[in-house]
Homo-oligomer: A and B are copies of this chain.
């Protein structure tokens, strides 16, 4: 939901890494584990806090791991794996997770996922998973994952937080990956300033701010590295409370010049 409310006064923001989350396994109650960690770390949770969860722990908790031993690669996966020098079973999972191929080159495989996100390998990834024969896929519905997390935290603590499921995506034109939102709940995802004026009465340049992606990027500063911090609290971000969805961040294909 895009907010038309006047912007609140900017306040100081804190980005707090959670250091004591245990290893996550299928079926784990992430909200419970996060509330236990914030209690242990004496961080607590405050209304309006935004909990940013790395995709990897959400996928693990939801069982979105695939064992490569159970994957039979298609002819396309086998021929493409030779070009990429990859495990054909890995490529097969990537193809299954893709709804459309955006670019297929020797160096990169860029696909649209069923959610509509454009990213490398359709979000399939083998890092930070115990066991050599397993890969992780994106959560089936990351917005729903975020909504469940928000609801469960409220049930456990009485506190209304926002939540973002984040992943690191590469970008066109710019080198390096940055953390972005692939799921969201309880936050304003895009701040729509269309029609707004600056203090001189001119139309604003930045008319739609990707707030959820900036929140994810801020969390990425402490998550980054080898992903040893998979959950982060962003505190002090004042925004209109909204039942936003990360799907708002997907540029409609008809308006997209690079799909």
Q: Which residues of A contact B (CB under 8 A)?
A: 7, 10-17, 19, 103, 105, 107-108, 110, 117-118, 125-132, 168, 171-180, 190-191, 193, 196-200, 202-211, 213-215, 217-218, 220-229, 237, 248-252, 255-259
Contacts and interface: CB of A to CB of B under 8 A. Distances in A.
B175 A248 contact: yes
Contacts of A199: 128, 226, 228
Given A127-B198, A199-B228, A257-B110, A209 B176 contact: yes
A55 to B, nearest CB: 10
Contacts of A225: 7, 10, 191, 193, 209
Contact of A197 (B130, B198, B226, B257): B226
Number of copies: 2
Given A172-B173, A176-B210, 4 more contacts: A127-B205, A172-B251, A173-B250, A214-B218
A73 B76 CA distance: 52
B251 A174 contact: yes
Contacts of A107: 255
B206 A177 contact: yes
A180 B209 CA distance: 12
Contact of A210 (B130, B174, B214, B256): B174
Enumerate the 3 nearest inter-chain pairs by beta-carbon distance, A residue then B residue, closest first: A176-B210, A217-B217, A218-B218
6 contacts: A12-B14, A13-B218, A14-B14, A110-B257, A127-B198, A178-B213
Contacts of A229: 10
A153 B26 CA distance: 51
A209 B173 contact: no
Nearest to A224: B209
Nearest to A18: B10
A198 B175 contact: no
A205 B15 contact: no
Contacts of A173: 117-118, 172, 250-251, 256, 258-259
Given A7-B225, A204-B127, A257-B110, A249 B198 contact: no
